Amino acid sequence: MNLETEKKPQLAPNIMVVDDVPANLQMLTDVLKAKGYRVRPVPNGELALAAAGRDVPDLVLLDVNMPGIDGYEVCRRLKSDPQLAAVPVIFITALNEVADKVKGFGLGAVDFVTKPFEFQEVEARVHTHLELARLRQQLCRYNAHLEEIVALRTCELAQTNARLAVLDRAKTDFLSLISHEIRTPLNGIMGVVELLLLTVTDDPDAAKYSEMYRQSRQRLMMLLDDALLLSQIGTDVGAGIRKPCRLDDLLIQARLLAVPFANSRSVHLAAVPSNLGLVQGSDDYLTRALQSLLETAVKFARASTAIKLAQTTVSEEITLIIEADGLAIPLEVLPRFFDLLAVSELITPGGDLGIAPALAERILTLYGGAVSVENMKPPGIRLTVRLKCA
């Protein structure tokens, strides 16, 4: 609020009194002036309408029975004028019939004062309706201010969303570019490494070097595949289309794809439970998500242990439990386990987790599912996968 506006003295409310009886007009004027109000006495309806148009009053005390334009017609015209419609009108009347009051309220009056006057009643009703009008005006100002704030915040939100869309598109383009374009020079590097390994077959450490190369190559190619798939989720129009998928088939295929990695860690993957039911999603995407979670569990498992699988169905949801005995997740890492590239520490024997957990979480979310992780006692992790039944 402007400081100059705050310093201006508040003017007393401006009340228009309309009555064709001079004695009534004088009495009401004197009573209201004595209470500090600014009062404009007007003897008929025509003059009242003209005066209200020149200087909008804060309240109108209006006699019903007047020659020419009666109080009801004056009230109707006041309420039909957008600049005067909010002015509270209190009727002055000797009529005490319910029908007369209903007619007055129907035209927009806020109250009635019955002749002969009780001046304390007149003062109380005038004060009450002036205060109600003041509060309504204040509420309108607050609402207008709130609408301005909402419009401003909406504009800021739209700008932020636009920036985020640009950043998200840049991230997607970057992941796609890396996944596609890095393969050509990478294949050349890998070909040279393989040729070099063939030249050191007589070295006693050749087998160790070869295995290190194989694991690094496999992990790098998987990272590229995950990055490409992650970028496709946001751009593939068909990615969000759901269809019934047999969870048994998805999990069997995911287990088959994860077995080589599990074997390299001397970890056994338990058999897939039968009759798991139908879930909503896409075969390819859900299989990749389950494979990522199985391989994530393998990274935490001790050698010679088994990854356990269990399933429950509650209402419209299938819950799949994946458990690995071995290492626990550090507490500071647990809240960001599924964040993209957030878990880069070497917290498992299989190295960092890469983007596999984030990829799995985003695929499951795409189809209305979810995944969570927790530590177990004795040490190990439990992945809880929730999928929507088809």
For 230-254, give the DSSP string.
Answer: HHHHHH-GGGG--EEEEHHHHHHHH
Q: How far from 173 is each of 116, 169, 227, CA to CA, in Å? A: 84, 6, 11
Check: pTM over 0.85? Answer yes or no.
Answer: no
CB-based burial label for 88 (10 Å; 0-12, 13-18, 19+): buried
Q: Residue 178's pLDDT is what?
A: 64
Q: What is the pLDDT of residues 75-93, one digit of tens each?
A: 999 999 999 999 999 998 8
Q: Residue 215's pLDDT is what?
A: 73
CA proximity to 261, closest of 351, 350, 345, 353:
350
The secondary structure of residue 91, as a DSSP letter, is: E
Percent of the residues in the chain that have a pLDDT greater than 70, as a whole number: 88
With a cut of 50, list the residues of the chain below it in pLDDT: 1-7, 237
- Kindly give, in sequence order, each residue whose CB lies less than 8 Å from that of residue 94, ignoring residues fewer than 6 positions away: 65, 114, 115
Which region, left, alpha or beta, applies to residue 243 given φ > 0 means left and ψ of -120 to 50 means alpha? beta
Largest distance between two CA atoms of the chain: 127
Q: What is the pLDDT of residues 88-137, one digit of tens each?
A: 999 988 877 788 888 889 999 999 988 887 888 889 999 999 999 889 88
Structure tokens at 173: 């383009």
Structure tokens at 264: 């390299």
What beta strand segments (E) does the chain contain? 14-18, 38-42, 59-63, 89-93, 111-114, 243-246, 268-269, 278-281, 306-314, 317-325, 370-375, 380-388
Q: Residue 1's pLDDT is what?
A: 42
Radius of gyration, alpha carbons of the chain:
40
Q: What angle do CA 369, 236, 217 make, to 5 degrees?
A: 85
CATH 3.40.710.10 is the classification of domain 240-388: no
CB neighbourhood size of 91 (10 A) = 26
The CATH class, in words, for 3-141 is alpha beta
CB neighbourhood size of 212 (10 A) = 11
Determine the 3-state secondary structure of 11 from DSSP: coil
User: Can you name the residues that pair with 126 across neighbouring β-strands?
Assistant: none
- Kindly give, in sequence order, each residue whose CB lies less than 8 Å from that of residue 8, ignoring residues fewer than 6 positions away: none
User: Which H or E run includes 152?
Assistant: helix 119-181
CA pseudo-torsion sign 260, 265, 270, 275: negative
CA distance 67 to 52: 19
The secondary structure of residue 335, as a DSSP letter, is: G
**Which residue in this structure is represented by tokens 């994946």?**
322
Domain residues of the chain, as ranges? 3-141, 240-388
Cβ contact 297:268 at 8 Å: no
